[in-house]
Structure 1
Amino acid sequence: MARRLPSTHPASDPRVESLEGLGAAVRNARAQARMRIDDAAAFCGVSADVLSRLENGKSITTDRLFKVLDGLGLEVLVVSREQALKLKDLAQQQGAE
């Protein structure tokens, strides 16, 4: 059976508050890039098992996390809660346009 790509979802809230949320964001970015998990893992320089663990909200090492984020064009931004809420509002406004 051929592997199917996961469905994509518009990102309405850029904040990630859990490993599960981070995994969902990574899976969504991979789906938007139209990459199968094994292809994305190879592109990022990690195993498919590592990428699967991350997408399923399981812990992986930070060096591998940053490899995946870099490979999929994602970044971590550390801001205050107040700044995060402003960014969320901005993202929602842009999504409504």
Structure 2
Amino acid sequence: MKRVVPTPFPVDPYLENPVVLGAAIRSARTQAGIRLEDAAMTIGVCLQTLVDIEAGKPGVSIGKILQVSQGLGVSLFVIPQSQREIARRRLSDLTVDNQA
């Protein structure tokens, strides 16, 4: 059986584009040691959908992205743009504290 190599989460919590979101989802899956095929089957999406999400392809529906992120334990937050930098700094501080 092929070994799953963990990949790190993106350092910045701001999801600037689909590639960053895909990297976060891939990281959650690989850090859990779950193969692509097993994750797709467990979450209930086709393998190609999961591959496309992890690759950051922009054509995947938001519904499928939310289904996959929830299935892999990746939380997405919505905040007003005026508060984005404050939230970004606080979230970065939390992740640094948890790694120490």
* TM-score, structure 1 normalization: 0.83
Q: 1:10 to 1:55 in 2, by over 3 A?
A: closer
Q: Tell me how far apart the structure 2 counterparts of residues 83 and 42 of structure 1 sit (CA, whole Å).
A: 37
Where does structure 1 differ by over 4 angstroms across 4 or more consecutive aligned residues? none
1:43 aligns with 2:48: no
Partner residue of 1:26? 25
Gaps of 5+ in 2: none
| Mapping for residues 3-82 of structure 1, pairs under 5 Å | 3-58=2-57, 59-82=59-82
- Classify 1:83/1:4 alpha carbon distance in 2 versus 1 (closer, same or farther; 3 Å): farther
* Aligned partner letter, 1:36: R
Contact 2:9 2:28 in 1 (8 A): no
Q: CA deviation at 1:79?
A: 0.8
**Contact 2:13-2:92 at 8 Å conserved across structures:** no
Gaps of 5+ in 1: none
Deviations 1:30-73 (A, max 9, x none): 11211111111111110111000010111212221121011011
CA RMSD of aligned residues (A): 1.7
Q: TM-score, normalised by structure 2?
A: 0.81
% identical equivalent positions? 31
Aligned pairs, number: 96
Change beyond 3 A, Cα 1:67–1:18: same
- One-letter identity of the residue aligned with 1:63: G
Q: Which residue in 2 is equivalent to 1:90? A: 90
